[in-house]
Amino acid sequence: MTADASGSRPESQASVTVREQRVRRDHTGAKLAVLAVLAALVIVVAVFAPLLCPYDPYAQDLSAALQAPGPSHVAGTDRYGRDLLSRIVMGTRPSIFATLALVALVASIGTAIGVVCGWKSGRLDVVLMRTSDLFLAFPGLVFALAVAGVLGGGILNAVVALAAIGWPKYARIARGLTLAQKGEPYLAAARLAGCTTTQLVFSHILPNIAGPILVTAMLDIGTMMMELAGLSFLGLGVRPPAAEWGSMMSENRSLLQTAPWTIVAPGIAIFVTVMIFNLLGDTIRDRMDPARRGSVRRGVG
């Protein structure tokens, strides 16, 4: 009896662990689907923003200035009588498109540099990695402020400034992953099969390191969005009267006590959007976690 009891206990514990892992995996999948739909909805709003605005976001009506949120203006109006909801919807465009372009830019440049450094090594690797150390030595946002100030502001210059501080992280990740893949037996087999260097990099290295790069890029969307909004708030991003969340908060910062909705409305837009993309990045990371996938497979097996 004792032997049977002791022998069955690990088996039951293993079955419970497998069930927990399956529930966790299903929960992650459902969460990923919901967050992907929300992120897609934000992008759809950005694409069709002019059609979704209830009012002209740039039309001024001083007789309706600083109206509190109500039936006619759901989010209220600003000091010029412009509908805040319409401006928030229109502000989705520069906020989303500039952020996605920025993340794609820094991920592409950083990954390319990292793969080259990891593959070639030698003096080129030393020069590029010490250059990345130089960029990382400065506080990121302070360095971006300096670059954007020198370039003269504007959304394009803000993207360039943030790209200048964003690529070293991707370069280091890609370099480490490339070095790890470089000694794998499948690459030696590919060389024996007659693959060129270009084929090895694009057909073998990049597909095998794409997962961590993608997760890092997804997690960076929220951060880059906040930094772009910060540059716009300081007058180094989108310039008024263009609708953008950070510049909207900057325009109305003197009205925080008398008309707080002019600050709260774009602030909520930033908070919700950043939260969606941060949670999406976290969920993708959990979904692509090799340790978790491995444990689930071992349990099922």
* CATH number for the domain that contains residue 55: 1.10.3720.10
Residues with Cβ within 8 Å of 103's Cβ and at least 6 positions away in sequence, in order, are 217, 220, 221, 224
**What is the Cα–Cα distance from 44 to 50, expressed in whole angstroms?**
11
What's the Cα-to-Cα distance from 150 to each of 143, 144, 158, 161, 242, rounded to whole Å?
Answer: 11, 10, 11, 10, 22
Q: How many domains does the chain have?
A: 1
**What is the Cα–Cα distance from 237 to 230, expressed in whole angstroms?**
8
**Bridge partner residues of 77 (DSSP):** 83
The reported pLDDT for the residue numbered 45 is: 93
pLDDT lower than 50: segments of the chain: 1-3, 5-8, 290, 292-301
Q: Does the pTM of the predicted model rise above 0.95?
A: no
Burial of 217 (0-12, 13-18, 19+ CB in 10 A): buried
The reported pLDDT for the residue numbered 212 is: 87
The four Cα atoms 44, 48, 49, 53 give a dihedral, to 10 degrees, of -120
The reported pLDDT for the residue numbered 242 is: 84
**What is the Cα–Cα distance from 114 to 173, expressed in whole angstroms?**
7
Q: Within 10 A of 35 (CB to CB), how many other CB atoms are there?
A: 20
**What is the Cα–Cα distance from 168 to 29, expressed in whole angstroms?**
31
The reported pLDDT for the residue numbered 108 is: 93
**What is the Cα–Cα distance from 300 to 18, expressed in whole angstroms?**
7
Burial of 83 (0-12, 13-18, 19+ CB in 10 A): buried
pLDDT 10s digits, 28-72: 778 889 999 999 999 999 999 999 999 999 988 888 888 889 888
Query: What letters, b where the CB count within 10 A reaches 16 and e where it falls short, cover 185-202?
Result: eebeebeeeeeeeeebbe
* Tokens linked to 215: 């997760």
> Rg for the chain (alpha carbons), in Å?
25
Enclosing domain of residue 93: 2-300
**What is the Cα–Cα distance from 198 to 299, expressed in whole angstroms?**
39
CB 141 within 8 A of CB 220: no
**What is the Cα–Cα distance from 94 to 100, expressed in whole angstroms?**
10
Please, what is the angle between helix 206-233 and helix 84-120, to 10°? Answer: 140
The reported pLDDT for the residue numbered 301 is: 38
